[in-house]
A and B are shown apart, each in its own frame.
Chain A
């Protein structure tokens, strides 16, 4: 518990590490989601073109 308290600076230290983790996870999640969306849109467009042809 002592090492978690960080000598009265626990709130500052842990919030910095926690916020960094959240932003990193969100960055990765957003990048993956955008890739999936772009890929799916291209897939739909190409299949629609193929059916029309």
Chain B
């Protein structure tokens, strides 16, 4: 098992493996999203309270879940990079931050658009879920700003890893905010005790969207990590051989 991890952590090996993985993640991901979008928009019945506005969950829930998942990737990558000094782990952290920020932005935007007809407001400052999610976006911005402010990659890796690890507290707050405090935001639906509180006709497209977005996130992340690895290893022998190869190794 350790041999597998060592091989996976090798930049040239990961670079080639990621190129193979991208279509295997992206194509099923896009197919699942197409299935989820069609069924979520046109087949699932309307909600008895929210009407058709509930269909926003088909993009809001996957983006919100991935906004937290991306942060955990960033923090775990930072932690592994700090403890085991694995270069690839820092590359994952650096590559995932813009993606995480994009998903967090989408979660906030779609949540706000849903909130207007449902709560009668675009934004509520006193709400713990909304505010902690906004802090998550600022953490991503802070992480990216910190990285770009330090020229030395090794120092940037260390400083940003510490920031990512400290920020994990906020991810826990985002997740449990609807249980710990009184919130406008509805409570857990999928991870509820006793199973999801949704009709299967609504649930299956949502699960397809969550899985589809996760696979697409994987494909986007793999593409970004490849670029990050290529940039960090630009002076290494394997990159030279890759670029000078007769077929080209993009």
Q: Which residue of A lies closest to B50 (CB)?
A: A9
Which chain A residues lie closer than 8 Å to B56 at the CB level? 12-13, 16
CB distance from B108 to the nearest CB of A (A): 11
Interface range, A side: 20 to 34
Q: Which of B59, B63, B114 has its CB near the most chain A CB atoms (within 10 A)?
A: B59
> In the complex, A20 Cα to B53 Cα: how many Å?
16
Q: Within 8 Å of chain A (Cβ to Cβ): is B99?
A: yes
Main secondary structure on A side of the interface with B: helix
Decide: B51 and A7 in contact? CB cutoff 8 A.
yes
A1-37, CB under 8 A of B: which get 1 and which 0?
0010011111011011101100110111011101100
Which chain A residues lie closer than 8 Å to B243 at the CB level? 39, 42-43, 46
Kindly identify, within residues 191 to 235 of chain B, every residue whose CB is under 8 Å from any CB belonging to chain A.
Answer: 216, 220, 223-224, 226-227, 230-231, 234
CB distance from A24 to the nearest CB of B (A): 7
Decide: B52 and A35 in contact? CB cutoff 8 A.
no
Q: Which residue of B lies closest to A7 (CB)?
A: B52
Q: A12-B56, A23-B105, A46-B243 are in contact. List 4 more A-B contacts (CB 8 A).
A: A12-B114, A17-B58, A32-B223, A34-B224
Q: Within 8 Å of chain A (Cβ to Cβ): is B156?
A: no
Decide: A16 and B230 in contact? CB cutoff 8 A.
no
Decide: A9 and B52 in contact? CB cutoff 8 A.
yes
- Chain B interface (Cβ < 8 Å from any Cβ of A): 37, 41-42, 46, 51-53, 55-56, 58-60, 63, 98-99, 102, 105-106, 109-110, 113-114, 116-117, 216, 220, 223-224, 226-227, 230-231, 234, 239-240, 243-244, 250
Q: Which residue of B lies closest to A3 (CB)?
A: B42
> In the complex, A37 Cα to B151 Cα: how many Å?
19
Which chain A residues lie closer than 8 Å to B231 at the CB level? 38
> In the complex, A5 Cα to B220 Cα: how many Å?
32
> In the complex, A15 Cα to B106 Cα: how many Å?
11
Partner of B113, one of A8, A16, A26: A16
Q: A38-B231, A42-B243 are in contact. Are A12 and B116 (CB under 8 A)?
A: yes
Q: A16-B110, A34-B227, A42-B239 are in contact. Are A9 and B51 (CB under 8 A)?
A: yes
Decide: A31 and B220 in contact? CB cutoff 8 A.
yes
